[in-house]
């Protein structure tokens, strides 16, 4: 079994054991995406936003996965729902990404006024969730990946990963003093935080 298949199996296990964990389904969707299993990815991301209806990033990724599966009508509905969610909440990054996807499938982008609380100019927006949060005062660890996380991931989202990462360590019985086990942990972290292989390779090339 490949490393990616191992991670998929592990995320599937987490989702079975804690079916209400929206971020576990989000991570599973990311792993399915990486494996080219777009229909499965769409299902996982859909479960994520069904559990957490305000998670506009999950709508975005579900719609993109449905497009990759050539399920354009389903993608259209998910993206329109996601655009409404992102626009009314003021989640600018997912809103703009969903608008681009809608344009790609020839669907007019609706005009929706934000009804959520105004996000002050200059607020830190988490790239994972699209939500405002607190910027970390320093990178969580040294190196280009740690620097990227500080620049793009809110402290709230990273703390949620710490809790999820503890489950990964316990369920997989990882010994982080082992290079192999540390890489398994890091791979889970990257999938949770939306650092795909292309971005990871780009960061390492710096």
- Render each residue's pLDDT in the chain as its tens digit; 206 residues: 467 888 899 889 889 988 998 878 988 998 899 899 999 999 999 999 999 998 888 999 999 999 999 999 999 999 999 999 988 877 777 888 899 999 999 999 988 765 555 566 667 888 877 778 899 999 999 999 999 999 999 999 899 889 888 887 887 788 899 887 888 889 888 878 878 778 899 999 87
* Range 86-105 burial, b when 16+ CB lie within 10 A, else e: bbbbbbbbbbebbbebbeee
- Report residue 129 as tokens: 């969730």
pLDDT at position 1 is: 45
| HSE of 107, CA atoms in CB hemisphere, 13 A | 22
Domains and CATH numbers, the chain: 1-116 (1.25.40.10), 124-206 (1.10.3880.10)
- Report residue 178 as tokens: 């082992």
Over the stretch 11-69, which tens digit does the pLDDT of each residue have? 898 899 889 988 789 889 988 998 999 999 999 999 999 999 988 889 999 999 999 99
C-alpha dist (Å) from residue 68 to 39, 71, 78, 105:
8, 8, 14, 11
- Nearest by Cα to 61 from 73, 49, 45, 38: 45
pLDDT at position 146 is: 96
* CB of 203 closer than 8 Å to CB of 145: yes
Instruction: Please report the beta strands in the chain, taking only residues with DSSP state E, as ranges in sequence order.
Output: 124-125, 132-133
pLDDT at position 119 is: 60
- Report residue 145 as tokens: 């990946």
3-state helix, strand, coil in the chain (%, to 5): 65, 5, 30
Q: Which residues pair with 132 in a beta bridge?
A: 125
Dist. CA 12–CA 144, nearest whole Å = 30
pLDDT at position 179 is: 86
C-alpha dist (Å) from residue 175 to 160, 165, 190, 204:
21, 13, 18, 24
């Amino acid at each position: 079994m490949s490393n990616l298949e191992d991670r998929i199996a592990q995320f599937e296990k987490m989702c079975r054991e804690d079916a209400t964990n929206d971020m576990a389904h989000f991570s599973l969707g990311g792993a399915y995406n990486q494996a080219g299993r777009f229909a499965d990815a769409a299902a996982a991301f859909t479960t994520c936003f069904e559990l957490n209806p305000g998670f506009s990033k999950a709508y975005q990724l579900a719609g993109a996965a449905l497009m990759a599966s050539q399920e354009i009508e389903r993608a259209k509905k998910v993206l329109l729902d996601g655009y409404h969610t992102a626009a009314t909440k003021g989640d600018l990054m997912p809103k703009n990404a969903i608008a681009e996807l809608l344009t790609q499938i020839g669907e007019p982008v609706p005009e929706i006024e934000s009804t959520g609380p105004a996000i002050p100019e200059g607020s830190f927006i988490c790239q994972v969730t699209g939500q405002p949060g607190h910027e970390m005062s320093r990178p969580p660890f040294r190196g280009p990946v740690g620097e990227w996380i500080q620049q793009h991931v809110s402290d709230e989202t990273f703390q949620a990963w710490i809790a999820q990462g503890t489950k990964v360590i316990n369920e997989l019985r990882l010994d982080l003093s082992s290079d192999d086990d540390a890489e398994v942990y890091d791979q889970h972290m990257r999938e949770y935080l939306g650092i795909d292989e292309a971005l990871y390779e780009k960061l390492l090339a710096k």
